[in-house]
Amino acid sequence: MNDDEPVLLHTEGHILHITLNRPRALNALTHAMVRRIGEALTLAADDDAVAAVVIGGAGERGLCAGGDIRSIYEDARAGRRASVDFWRDEYRLNARIARFPKPYVALMDGIVMGGGVGVSAHGDVRIVTERSRVAMPETAIGFVPDVGGTHLLAAAPGELGTHLALTGRAIGAADAVLCGLADHFVPSDRLADLTDELSRSAEPAGTRDIVLRYATVAPEGELAAHRGWIDDCYAADTVEEIIDRLVDSGLATAKETATELLGLSPTALKVTLASVRRAKGLGSLEAVLDQEFRVSCRAFTGHDLVEGVRARIIDKDRTPRWSPADVGGVTAAEVARHFEPLGDQELGLVAV
């Protein structure tokens, strides 16, 4: 194991440990990292000595802050297509994680956003801590939740998933469990003992039982107390009506949310709402990933992704010039265009 590698692999007892190792970049995923994780899972699936896989992040700040946004920005500006190839392999990895034949334990400690959700929340044992901040914040950069995020958020209770998809807000441990993005809360100071015990266990069937011995009740979250106005406002059919309901609710928190939405990419908001609603009817994760791939490819060639990354990550002026500048300017035809088939460039996880 070379400690300079962006993905560290080591077997301890009967556990394959996968560690994302770019702590200075909050373990942001690169194409090479996605490939390396995929190769590791292929070997682990066929290795009788491996009872389970545990994925975590190097450093103290989090598991993974998402994909390498700067690389995507530079790729889009230059008119290249490397990001599309990255998403193709990344989404296939997300599907593999969901179908992995052995326990896949995700340590969702600290920041877990975007692609970090993709390599963790599709696992079958998902652990959050008091430090966890889980989010799909794509609308802030003119993009749309991907890596199976719309599949997960569409399954959240009521309209909580729609709220999180549109706002991109980060949530803590209790809310992640409530929304179905995580399973168990384990205090961060017990993670080392938990992984040590997992390594000593030779039985995959006992993985969840071991986790349960360390799990406890998470500190109270925030979303449950706001279910009333969230479910009412986000049940609307359009982004415009959602914003109107938030403003007219008479609640300060709802009005603040409306103001927040009005600062995000109008195109991303409308496409995100359509993506979550369509995901509810698609059923399988694979079908949703196929849809997300179409949407990502269309967004990649649009104006708002480059502009959103510029404003938030590159220049950091926080004043994106969206086009169109307001939700009323985003036509139904423009939204529909994001979902059109890609011909022979389809991701193709679901056979036609």
Instruction: Note the pLDDT of residue 352.
Output: 54
Give 109's contacts (C-beta < 8 A, 6+ positions apart).
56, 57, 62, 63, 127, 128, 129, 131, 132, 188, 191
User: 159, 273 in Cβ contact below 8 A?
Assistant: no
Which parts of the chain have pLDDT scores under 50? none
What is the structure's pLDDT at 223?
98
Q: What pLDDT, on the 0 to 100 scale, is given for residue 205?
A: 63
Q: How far is CA 88 from CA 45, 118, 233, in A?
A: 21, 13, 34
- Helix and strand element counts for the chain (H, E): 16, 9
Q: Which residues form the catalytic set?
A: 67, 115, 138, 146
